[in-house]
Amino acid sequence: FRSKQALLDLTRQGIAMGANAIVGLRKSNAHYDQAGSQWRVSRVTYQGTAVVVDRKVPSAEAAA
């Protein structure tokens, strides 16, 4: 659940900036344990660059 939420947050931030794609996506996991404790904290982080991708299809003339 946390991983999906982190990716959704990144996607929402990119859309808010006007992007339609995220490139260079990287995922980091970090786990923290406290000595003598039964608690474990997990952190998922996504990083990427929000970009606008132009989906123009080249014409047949440009391909020749």
Q: Which tens digits make up the pLDDT trace of 36-63?
A: 778 888 888 999 999 999 877 777 666 5
* Structure confidence at residue 54 (pLDDT): 87
Chain centroid offset of residue 55 CA:
20
Q: Where are the domains of the chain?
A: 2-52
- Whether 29 contacts 44, CB under 8 Å: yes
* Structure confidence at residue 37 (pLDDT): 75
**Partners of 23 in the β-ladder:** 49
Paired tokens of 56: 């123009």
